Structure 1
Amino acid sequence: MRLIDDGDVWDTFVDESASGRLFHKWDFMKITQKHTGFTFLPYGVFKGNELICVFPLFQKQMHGLTVLLSPPPLQSVIPYLGFVMSRRYDTAKQSKKESMLKEVTEEIEEELAVLAPNYLAITQVPGFIDVRRFLREGYDARIHFSYVIDLSPPLPEIWNGFSSNLRTKLRKVEKSGYRFEKSTDLSTFYSTVAERFSEPDMNIPMISRSYFEDLYEAYPDELGLYYLYDADGAVTGVQATQEYKTFTLWMGAPKMTALPGNEFLQWLLLGRAKEAGFRQMENVGANNENLNLFKSKFNPSLTLFLELSRQDLFGRVARWAYSTIASKGLVKRKVLSYIE
């Protein structure tokens, strides 16, 4: 296991793997490093000269504590990251998968022993569930969920799976007149998302607008930004997407008007994703109870992803301080970046 300094090698590996996401791409990681203040450690695991795994880690020192995260803090709005296995792993029989994974996890454990973090958290992408070796090593595991809609059925069949209440709302919007637009203007998107993140129940440190500007400049084809306008030209729905392997509804704005604009915008994006040939549409946010009722009306399936964590005494004290003392307001903004 060693650090990689070639972004092209890294990105080619991510492109060819089954579980690599846009979050894993080299420029995405470099931009995240720039805006979060965490140091990007681009690890690769090799078998001879063959790269068999990439593992992005983010490191920060604070008051003598070493924190290692993958993904980095919440303000990076990366829901999952973790290590990525090679294409050969993806197509191997189970016995070969387990032997490859054993080699990789042994290398990871050796390097982590050298780095000696006080707090470590790794959240794997949805569907990658074989974390048995980490569990045997004493890691804590936490289950998270995401919503996924299968786009292989005909569009009318997908429509019929929606709740009747949702179908009624969508018909109403369609009759009232609307305009759907893919945009490069981040102004409305950032202001609405920043406002949402500043609400009392989501009072977390929102990353700067320049973070999104850098990401959209780096990935103009893989990142989308969509607005829905009513007949008077007012914005009624906002959605940021990732269009790489899976069509992902990445971030959206809260309800903006009495018109169900967000619902109709998601319906339009579902059609766009299907037309573009994507097999799935992921709608992140299944862990937020306040959003479950809204998102479940589209009749998605649940998929799970796993967070692994380990901490020593100092790491446990930091997490306790966060959960009992620094869970709200200004203190949370200062502390969350390092221990969540």
Structure 2
Amino acid sequence: MVEVSIADEDDIEKWNSYVDRSPQGNAFHYDEALAVIADHSGTDCHRLIGYKGQEVVGLFPVFERGTLGQSVAFSPPPNLLIPYLGPALLNIEKLKRRKAERRHGRFVRGCFERLFEEVSPRYVSLRTDGRYADLRPIKWTGFDVTPDYTYTVDLTVGEEELLASFSSDARSNVRSGEEIEYTVEEGGEEAIRRIVTQMIERHEAQEVFYGITPEFVTDLYRSLPEDRCRPYSISVDGAFVGGMVTLEDDDTIYRWQGGAKHDADVSANDLLDWGIMTDAMDRGIETYDLVGASNPRLNGYKAKFSPDLRTFHNAERASPAMKLAAEAYKRLR
């Protein structure tokens, strides 16, 4: 029997340690990140936790709000460009397949039963971490499941082998950096503001919606455990050119926000990404998640780092009428 409940004070105190122990836990699952996401999305976060006796089975943060007179639920909520959330399992990989699948299924069913008891959402949307590979329990509870894709770079191979795997132009751009007066540095809140403002201006120029604000990202930076949010800036000849805000868990660094097109006459983004990768390798990080591989316009740039293609999933449960209502919510600022 798996018992699912809303996390109490004791559960929340231990929440981040559970995230670190889960194979599917990522930087966006941390308790502090959930609080900031809820605040900036205008939602209530329901931190679901499952137990088998005294043993934690899984975590499942869900964000809920009312729109058009109905309750809708998301994990993660839209517009803040959180790439993955959904369930994070614990203490299951040690079990044999039959028992592991039974426990996983009971946890997922228990989460949705608790969610529908608490808020009765008419629409639920999920986007799961790529390491959450078995979507069958979600599908069996009435969800439509579709695949999506991201690129990941293996950082365990070492600098020399990694650079050799890059495309010829990427290798050339990195090596030509030896002839350029540039720096890639980790900064703080001011770096975040410059990076996000540059992204806002770039999207405005393209007349494309961009839901991220400097306030949201600085709140994440302040709230997350130390070193989980790292804003990197690249300067050429002493002048700021661009940057990247990364998020990080124990083994993965996420290329989250930044990398805007710039006016500098150097391949600054190649040098920036290389600097982020080498810095992460020095800390023992194993994977660089490039956060997305479904935009053909951007894939050409990301693919030159010789990444692996990883699948993650979207899941949706709703009536046709509520799907329209959810789309209306996603368009709200």
TM over 0.5: yes
> Are the aligned partners of 2:79 and 2:212 in contact in 1 as well (CA < 8 Å)?
no
Q: How far did 1:48 drift?
A: 2.6
| Structure 1 unaligned residues grouped into runs of 5+ | 323-333
Q: Which residue of 2 aligns with 1:211?
A: 216
Q: Which residue of 2 aligns with 1:273?
A: 280
Q: Does 1:154 align with 2:158?
A: yes
| 1:26-58 CA-partner distances (Å, limit 9, x unpaired) | 111111111111111111122233321111000
Counterparts in 2 of 1:274 and 1:83: CA distance versus 1, 3 Å: same
Q: Which residue of 1 aligns with 2:243?
A: 238
Q: Which residue of 2 aligns with 1:251?
A: 257
Q: Which residue of 2 aligns with 1:117?
A: 121
Q: Over aligned residues, Cα RMSD in angstroms? A: 1.9
Counterparts in 2 of 1:200 and 1:311: CA distance versus 1, 3 Å: farther
| 1:160-184 CA-partner distances (Å, limit 9, x unpaired) | 1111111122222331221221111
Q: Which residue of 2 aligns with 1:296?
A: 303
* Secondary structure of 1:53 counterpart: strand
- Of residues 163, 169, 174, the one that matches 1:170 is 174
Q: Which residue of 2 aligns with 1:39?
A: 44
Greater shift in the superposed pair: 92-101 or 63-72: 92-101
Aligned equivalents of 1:135, 1:301: Cα separation in 2: 26
- Of residues 180, 184, 195, the one that matches 1:180 is 184
Aligned equivalents of 2:172, 2:320: Cα separation in 1: 54
| Structure 2 unaligned residues grouped into runs of 5+ | none
- Of residues 103, 108, 116, the one that matches 2:106 is 103
Aligned equivalents of 2:18, 2:166: Cα separation in 1: 37
Aligned equivalents of 1:157, 1:143: Cα separation in 2: 31
> Are the aligned partners of 2:196 and 2:257 in contact in 1 as well (CA < 8 Å)?
no
> Are the aligned partners of 1:183 and 1:225 in contact in 2 as well (CA < 8 Å)?
yes
Q: Which residue of 2 aligns with 1:329?
A: none
Instruction: Report the TM-score when normalising by structure 2.
Output: 0.90
Q: Which residue of 1 aligns with 2:33?
A: 28
Q: How far did 1:201 drift?
A: 6.2
Counterparts in 2 of 1:197 and 1:95: CA distance versus 1, 3 Å: farther
Counterparts in 2 of 1:147 and 1:73: CA distance versus 1, 3 Å: same
> Are the aligned partners of 1:41 and 1:58 in contact in 2 as well (CA < 8 Å)?
yes
Aligned equivalents of 2:94, 2:280: Cα separation in 1: 26
* Secondary structure of 1:226 counterpart: strand
* Secondary structure of 2:132 counterpart: coil
- Of residues 31, 37, 54, the one that matches 1:49 is 54
Greater than 6 Å deviation, 4+ residue runs = none
Aligned equivalents of 1:198, 1:67: Cα separation in 2: 29
